[in-house]
């Protein structure tokens, strides 16, 4: 319905022939790369879902974006963090920042191993096991302090993301990273990416 309304509105204004559809993850990466000021970098999109994927990694060099890898849905870091947000009583897609703030007051070690066990390495991306089972987060939230749940989810988000990105950085030799997508709003995660050995700048 939204697509039809868009097309109808453009047609009424004689602009339908100018409509161009772009891959969701590519659009995220382009928005980061083209505004970063970097002449070469790793372009990274991390979000919940878009165009059949939950993220992508590109190399930006010599004015060209080259796809290096995609994170297939449902192996989504955005969905992972959203489920924790909802289970802790906040609104997904709005209050993830509150989970980040809450995490600073918790002990990640209490639940780290249980939360980290939901991910396993799978070739050039990670596999998020039981990705659609919200009952896991709800169960943890019922039995443990909200701060400790938030702290574990934050720490695991940082660990999985940096582990995922390191091989791409090593392969390309890039020292700069341009981030986009909803997960890139997590400033603590951005700090951890900036701390990966060899990374000089994150934008």
What is the rounded CA–CA span in Å between residue 129 and residue 38? 36
What is the rounded CA–CA span in Å between residue 103 and residue 14? 51
Q: What pLDDT does residue 95 have?
A: 96
Query: Is the Cβ–Cβ distance between 41 and 169 less than 8 Å?
Result: no
| pLDDT exceeds cutoff 90 at 189 | yes
Report pTM. Answer: 0.93
> Mind listing the pLDDT tens digit for each residue in 52-101?
999 999 999 999 999 999 999 999 999 999 999 999 999 999 999 999 99
Tell me the pairing of strands 176-180 and 40-50: parallel
Tokens of 11: 């047609």
- For 15, the 3-state DSSP assignment is coil
- Model confidence at 124, pLDDT cuts 50, 70, 90, reads confident
| pLDDT exceeds cutoff 90 at 121 | no
Percent of the chain with pLDDT over 70: 100
- Model confidence at 122, pLDDT cuts 50, 70, 90, reads confident
Q: What pLDDT does residue 132 have?
A: 85
Q: Residue 16 has what DSSP assignment?
A: G
| pLDDT exceeds cutoff 90 at 161 | yes
Query: Is the Cβ–Cβ distance between 69 and 40 less than 8 Å?
Result: no
Q: Kindly calculate the radius of gyration of the chain based on its CA atoms and give it in whole angstroms.
A: 18
How many C-beta neighbours within 10 Å does residue 201 have?
13
* Angle, CA of 75, 81 and 87, to the nearest 5°: 120
| pLDDT exceeds cutoff 80 at 176 | yes
> Mind listing the pLDDT tens digit for each residue in 26-58?
999 999 999 999 999 999 999 999 999 999 999
What is the rounded CA–CA span in Å between residue 159 and residue 149? 16
């Amino acid at each position: 319905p939204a697509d039809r309304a868009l097309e109808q509105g453009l047609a009424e204004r004689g602009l339908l022939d100018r409509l161009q559809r772009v891959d969701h993850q590519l659009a995220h990466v382009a928005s980061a790369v083209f505004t970063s000021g970097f002449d070469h970098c790793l372009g990274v999109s991390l979000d919940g879902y878009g165009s059949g994927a939950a993220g992508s990694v590109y190399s930006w060099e010599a004015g060209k974006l080259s796809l290096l890898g995609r994170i297939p849905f449902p192996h989504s870091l955005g969905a992972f963090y959203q489920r924790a947000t909802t289970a802790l009583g906040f609104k997904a897609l709005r209050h993830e920042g509150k989970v980040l703030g809450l995490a600073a007051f918790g002990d990640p070690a209490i639940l780290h191993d249980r939360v980290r066990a939901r991910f396993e390495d799978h070739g050039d991306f990670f596999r998020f096991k039981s990705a659609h089972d919200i009952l896991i987060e709800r169960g943890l939230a019922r039995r443990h302090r909200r701060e400790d749940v938030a702290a574990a989810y934050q720490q695991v988000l940082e660990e999985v993301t940096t582990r995922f990105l390191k091989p791409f950085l090593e392969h390309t030799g890039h020292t700069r990273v341009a981030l986009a997508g909803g997960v890139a709003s997590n400033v603590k995660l951005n700090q951890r990416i900036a701390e990966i050995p060899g990374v000089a700048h994150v934008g």
